[in-house]
Amino acid sequence: MDLYRLKIHELQEMLQRGEVSSREVTESVFRRIDDVEGKVGAFITLMEDEGLECAELADRRIEEGKQDGLTGIPLAIKDNMCMKGKRTTCGSKILESYKPPYDGTVIKSLGGHLSVPVGKTNMDEFAMGSSTETSYFGITRNPWDLGRIAGGSSGGSASAVAADECIGALGSDTGGSIRQPAAYCGVVGLKPTYGRVSRFGLVAFASSLDQIGPLTKDVRDCAILLTAISGHDRLDSTSVDIAVEDYVNSLDGDIGGLRIGIPKEYFTGGIDPDVEKSVWDAVKGLEKLGAAYKEVSLSHSEYALAAYYIIAPAEASSNLARYDGVKYGYRASRPEGLIDMYAKTRSEGFGREVKRRIMLGTYALSAGYYDAYYKKASQVRTLIARDFDEAFKECDLLLTPTVPAPAFKIGEKTGDPLQMYLTDIFTVPANLVGVPGISVPCGFSKDGLPIGLQLLGRHFDEATILRAAYAFEQHTDYHLRRPSLDAGRGK
């Protein structure tokens, strides 16, 4: 049996029954990494020694009868989450050798469960990108077609899950960076409500938008991982003190009477025909399971992308000002004075996309332009939030495509930033508003590429979108199909 192919909940039961050990599972995962990582490029840093050591500790805990849902389970972590003493690069040259002196809260949570760290996954530099092509450490490829992107910015985590290089993974989502690569790679990805999961130890991109969440092989695994990382944290001022459900208990498969809203603005053209058909097939499938759907309007959604690409770069400009070569990270050699050191360090340490967004954000915040850009974008954000509030008065959740088209070819959009930004057009509104969203596989294109279905819920109502996603998943087999890396192409 190839243990690396199994899911969290399957391995949880096998570990409990003593049929396998965590060490055996972990060794299987690292053998898989040896076999396919050269093709995929999902990881920046591997942690085999630490992983095997943790697996042995987990096995002892299981023998003592102290196992929980994640004990002994090999997980991958996006490389913008701080792990004490472990390289945390954010996919950037400027942090190429940085080792944090502390663990982020989600890392502490996973450590408390004695899950097994596999490694730190590749990502767009500072999470700024939609394809994991901006990473200083190279491109991550889509396991379904190695000539195509894995999505971004959590492309390494999504690709690692799809390629069975881990059992589950964590990513971060600022404008779709969990859901979009999940759709491209045919896995499940969930962005929790803003404030549901602590951001302490997450290297900031845009502080009012960033959120950590799970990428997994199915919805049950997603619920297990979300339950483990959720909760209030006094170290994060944006963390909300609301009781956390055991999300696995919400997976009863019953969606009778569930009200689904279909935003008409998301189906106005520009969607790949295969994507549109798969999403409408999913709607009909949910209707057969007892849900009812109706058209709703999110009339200001057409302005979401424009607002996002003012707000996010503005916050990035502020957050990335700390990388100046003084306290930590890369420092340019032989500068001619302090100002020259700042300029050379940032010029040499940041990649092209990060520089572009810093300049956009600095401009939007500059004197004479703040009201015209940042203030106006913030007002539009409020209007979008009101649209969602009105829609949720009529519906329990909203249903949309995750992305307009399947994964594109590597290099296809790198020369046109606007076309790259448009891949996030369906995911960005949830971040502006702060609501939870999940992407689940709902079909395949004529080229055999995965297609994702997005479900959006009310604030802190992750249970409802998980319940609907699980019901859909139980009556389809899209999540069971795996890419065939031996042929270089998914089947």
> Which active-site residues does the annotation give?
78, 153, 177
Handedness of CA 188, 194, 197, 199 (dihedral sign): positive
Residue type for position 340: D
Rg (CA), the chain: 21
Could you count the other beta carbons within 10 Å of the beta carbon of residue 56? 15
As a whole number of angstroms, the distance between CA 124 and CA 155 comes to 8
Residue that has been written with the tokens 């200001």 in this structure: 300
Assess contact for 353 and 124: CB atoms under 8 A.
yes
Whether the CB-CB separation of 272 and 405 falls below 8 Å is answered with: yes
Q: In angstroms, rounded to a whole number, what is the distance separating the alpha carbons of residues 70 and 221? A: 10
d(CA 261, CA 300): 16
Reduced to 3 states (helix: H, G, I; strand: E, B; else coil), residue 475 is coil
Tell me the CA distances in angstroms from 292 to 256, 258, 289, 312, 475, one per residue in order: 8, 6, 9, 35, 17
Report DSSP letters for 422-468, one per residue. Answer: GGGTTTHHHHHHT--EEEEEEEE-TTS-EEEEEEEESTT-HHHHHHH
Q: What is the 3-state secondary structure (H, E, C) of 182-237?
A: HHHHCCEEEECCCCCECCCCECCCCCCCCCEEEEECCHHHHHHHHHHHECCCCCCC
- Which position has the token pair 């332009």? 369
d(C-alpha 71, C-alpha 229), whole Å: 14
